[in-house]
Structure 1
């Protein structure tokens, strides 16, 4: 039996936190435990979990470690703890795969597919001119994309605000045609009455989905919103465990779930969430505007989940101004984008190799990313 001997955390640009977990016989596993804008807080949670539970333990007992980290504390759940668990879980699966010389998906039952379709972001937080960007992504081979629906909105906003959103989507649809899918992210910025109006206005342009039409704390409103539209409804990036997802499965309002492999308990938990979704005929499209470790973790779950249909990824996303998703990889070609798909990596563990020399240099840089705080025209705080 080997033991978990050591760990190191690297906060790196643009806004990521990487975990290097090492065993006594020198096997290294990588994880990405991060809440965007709360890297220092999650770092402390990772350190506490490792120091309290895992150092000196056998890395093979992943399910027991997950249960211990989750149930070992009287208070549980939430973004910080579940993101810390997620990154550790990813690293443990990476170690297990390397120990057996097999990709993680082989240890989870084997592939249900050879490749997974991906989508590309266009526009920024406040979407502006998106038509040219959409056309460029199609020229680059992508067959699906996602954009923010709006900037900040009042709780009950004007017809002009609705019309602006409609015109942006209409422009993108006109530029890319009807063979390309367009996801529209409401980003939790939209109140229930505005969500109903906005969905109706966007429906003629047949979005692939509307994402997070209301905040997760208002998931009880999703059935009413679903009753007003035929557009598939997606949500889940701010839901952190199978227990958080239980309500949306039972009320039947959600068509696509988007758990984040760096927020929702890692590979172990999202595999279970995906299986729950399948029983309710709900599709899986993991959330991932993050780095290469999170992306690789998503792809291994996509590989085994028959209900996975598309994968978010952060290549050229508007947050990645300083570093991009492939920059930290020794071999970026492991994620070969072709015809709007990527192949499932076939190397051991996560199937990626981190360029540790480059990582160390980037970790020396100051990273202080926090999401903006937006205010309405009356001065009150609104959702970003």
Structure 2
């Protein structure tokens, strides 16, 4: 069996996605992967089309590990978000082919099920604590036992996460038109850490008072705090028993997690902006986090995700793979196949995709009873409708930018 073609499909069914479709010389046998990097989609598409796809023609798609090593190490200028996202698109598509050829779902090739379904968490937000409570109760009514909660920051012009599940799934909060032929970044202005640090503990105090202690509550800092601020927040949130506090620090300063860990027993999650297992290692070996939150679509795919999970296991660190709306259903399928096949799974972020996305990418994981369930079809279970994809051409867009009250740029 040989690879005969690699199609890179850029489409925008509500937001931009980059799909990789790898065809083989066996009639009807192909794989679908996801290589979406939000805000830099065309950079990944160019890397695939101009540099990586030519290396695949004529290769045996069964040799996933060898292809992975060649594409990662053979570039010499290895790693980074663009190349690792491109590699992920290829890797996910190759695993899809392997499963289809074997006539088995991918989880079976990864060792088989360790659980029936993967506990999932959804997103809730609101302009007031009362509105947030209503959103959480609605999620609980759908069966969710794990819920991420976000609240507005006083004085800020807008706040990440406040839109809850709708915001996580759509691109409605991204930049609007600028008159130059394309949208410019949305600016979240007047964001101040002091205001944020005052309001978040109050949000959790309110929710625990209204909802009790059994519900698993999560919160995303989104890398906005310095080490002392993060340590203070983790300490002040201890009485509310979070399931985890997510991305409290920037990814560049892993050693700063020592300060946060020493200050509090609040469980910590990190890794959304990591790109390789090597970035995870210091946090694992010193047991500075409790959940690893890499994005399978940005770390080189299933091959690297499986290795990261294996490295985390002896340190009692669980997985919580990134699962927002800005990666396509193909990566969400990959998430769940890994989730149900590893022993140290923790929880899986999920979104409800709009119907327009399902039209282009049929086969997203099913969510019911607060869990995600993998497809039992051979492969990953996700496909791409190329004719539907053509109806939604690429539209330039960017992730938002955050600015402090003095106008300076802050981490979004």
**What is the TM-score with the length of structure 2 in the denominator?**
0.84
Deviations 1:145-168, CA, capped at 9 Å, x for gaps: 11347647999843x532211222
Contact kept? 1:49, 1:69, Cα under 8 Å: no
Structure 1 residues 213 and 9: alpha-carbon distance in aligned structure 2, compared to 1, 3 A threshold = same
2:318 corresponds to 1:276: no
The equivalent residue for 2:388 is 358
* CA RMSD between the two structures: 2.5
Residue by residue over 1:88-144, the C-alpha shift from the partner in whole angstroms, topping out at 9 and shown as x without a partner, is 100011011111111111112211111111000112899994222111111122111
Greater CA drift, 228-237 or 45-54: 45-54
Describe the shift of the 1:173–1:19 C-alpha distance in structure 2 as closer, same or farther (beyond 3 A).
farther
CA distance in 2, matches of 1:293, 1:112: 21
Contact residue 88 and residue 300 of structure 2 kept, 8 A = yes
User: Does structure 1 conserve the Cα–Cα contact (< 8 Å) formed by 2:402 and 2:410?
Assistant: yes
- Partners of 2:297 and 2:355 lie apart in 1 by 19
Among 62, 70, 73, the alignment partner of 1:68 is 70
C-alpha contact (below 8 Å) 1:122/1:147 kept by paired residues: yes
1:28 alignment counterpart: 30
Output the CA distance in 2 between the equivalents of 1:95 and 1:240.
Answer: 24
Secondary structure of the 2:340 match is helix
For 2:347, which of 294, 306, 310 is the aligned residue?
Answer: 310
Shift of 1:178: 2.1
Task: Give the deviation of 1:182 after TM superposition.
Answer: 1.1
Evaluate the alpha carbon distance shift between residue 141 and residue 235 of structure 1 in structure 2; reply closer, same or farther with a 3 A threshold. Answer: same
What residue number does 2:374 align with? 344
Please, which runs of 5 or more residues in structure 2 have no aligned partner? 154-158, 160-187
For 2:400, the equivalent position in structure 1 comes to 372
- Post-superposition offset of 1:173: 3.1
Kept in 2, the 8 Å contact 1:223–1:252? The answer is no
Per-residue deviation at 1:24? 2.3
Q: Structure 1 length as normaliser, TM-score? A: 0.90
Higher mean displacement: 125-134 or 338-347: 125-134
Post-superposition CA distance 1:274-327 (Å, at most 9, x none) = 0000021111111111321110001111121100021111226xxxxx667645
Cα distance, 1:49–1:60 mapped onto 2, change above 3 Å: farther
Query: Residue 319 of structure 1 aligns with which residue?
Result: none
SS at match of 1:170: helix
Partner residue in 2 for 1:292: 329
- Check whether the contact 2:99–2:379 (CA below 8 A) recurs between aligned residues: yes
Give the aligned partner of residue 58 of structure 2.
56
Structure 1 residue corresponding to 2:338, chosen from 287, 301, 322: 301
> Which structure 1 segments of 5+ residues have no match?
317-321
> What's the CA shift for 1:34?
1.6
Contact 1:6–1:23, Cα closer than 8 Å, also in 2 = no
Cα displacement (A) at 1:330: 3.6
Structure-2 change in CA distance of 1:148 and 1:383 (3 Å): farther
In the other structure, the counterpart of 1:80 is 82
* Corresponding residue number in structure 2 for 1:192: 227
1:4–1:58 contact (8 Å) kept in structure 2: no
Cross-structure match for 1:115: 117
Higher mean alpha-carbon deviation, 118-127 vs 269-278, is at: 118-127
2:277 to 242, 247, 251: 242
